[in-house]
Amino acid sequence: MLFFSFTTLCCSSTDNNESQIPNNDSTINGNGGGIITFYSGRDGNNEIYIMNADGTAQTRLTDNEFADQTPALSPNGTKIVFQTNRDGRFELYSINIDGSNPTRLTNTLNAEDQPSWSPDGLNIFYMLDYGSRSEIWRMNSDGTEQTQLTSNQWRDERPFLSPDGSTILFMSNRHGEYEIYMMDTDGSNQRRITDSSLHKVFPSWNNDGSKIAFGLTNTATRQAEIHVINADGTNDIVLTSATGRDENPCWSPDGGKIVFQSEREGNFEIYTMNSDGSNQTRLTESNGWDGWASWSVYTAH
């Protein structure tokens, strides 16, 4: 994890407590706006939650003594991939949207993190952390055919495939500050699209691939704001201006809203706003850390 994001990196044993979570279709209904998954420390350790897009029906999906975190919803809203240390080191798992069928996807000596799905749901992109450096990898959604896409001595993180399936968005500090980069799906044609004196982190595509949201972070002042740029890096627009850090933006399925985490009222909570920055609305309120939100449609019934 990034040193300035302050997320907690802490597997279950194999008793599969998640499979005992009841089906919540009666309350988790999408409300026409899809559903949001996130992880929360409100229970004393990090667990995976889901909720409606308006913040209602917040429901815990995992329940164990280990750390379940950095979730990503599949495009059709039926599965969640996430990082967990329930097997003694950090690996990627998937579960069904009701918390059932926990399935281990990776098994290496290093930590896998920051997963995201391809738009067709067939592939998962993720970061493999080697300690002093990290690289971008791709695998099938069942964990097979794990393939390394970047290779250098720096940190390449937070991969995100474009809606048309042609371009991977990611962040890298290979030139000093974290900047936003793109590459083709085979790892070729790596190119930088931002260049400034501050960290540009946690980039994500909008629904049609025309815009990118990201966090602009000043580690000296601990200030971070959500920005939006065109896909070619032009037309930088600042969307937030709250005290503290606004981070980890993720677009709604229709591109009309952005969900993000903010510490403007103390600890990190999850907020939404319109894609122009208006109508910033708090969705969660807990005594723990709520963040790393992922938004998708909802089709599971």
- Residues 157-166 pLDDT 10s: 999 999 999 9
Does residue 9 belong to any structural domain of this protein?
Answer: no
Looking at residue 219, its pLDDT comes to 76
Looking at residue 203, its pLDDT comes to 98
3-state secondary structure of 129: strand
Q: How far is Cα 113 from Cα 84, in angstroms, rounded to an integer?
A: 9
Does residue 6 belong to any structural domain of this protein?
Answer: no
Looking at residue 87, its pLDDT comes to 92
- Counted domains in the chain: 1
> Are the C-beta atoms of 269 and 283 separated by less than 8 Å?
yes
- DSSP secondary-structure letter at 43? T
Does residue 97 belong to any structural domain of this protein?
Answer: yes
> DSSP letters of 236-250?
-EE----SSBEEEEE
Looking at residue 41, its pLDDT comes to 96
Query: Which positions of the chain have pLDDT values less than 50?
Result: 1-26, 301
CATH number of 133's domain: 2.120.10.30
Does residue 248 belong to any structural domain of this protein?
Answer: yes
Residues 6+ apart with CB under 8 A from 44: 288
Does residue 4 belong to any structural domain of this protein?
Answer: no
Which pTM value belongs to this model? Answer: 0.90
Containing H/E element for 215?
Answer: strand 211-218
- DSSP secondary-structure letter at 19? G
Containing H/E element for 212?
Answer: strand 211-218
Cβ neighbours around 60 below 10 Å, total: 17
Domain coverage including residue 160: 17-296
129: amino acid identity, one letter = D
Does residue 12 belong to any structural domain of this protein?
Answer: no
Looking at residue 33, its pLDDT comes to 86
Does residue 10 belong to any structural domain of this protein?
Answer: no
> Are the C-beta atoms of 247 and 291 separated by less than 8 Å?
yes
Measured over the CA atoms of residue 40, residue 45, residue 46 and residue 51, the dihedral's sign is negative
> Are the C-beta atoms of 301 and 25 separated by less than 8 Å?
yes
Q: How many residues does the chain have?
A: 301
Does residue 156 belong to any structural domain of this protein?
Answer: yes
Cβ neighbours around 290 below 10 Å, total: 25
Q: How far is CA 112 from the centre of its chain?
A: 13
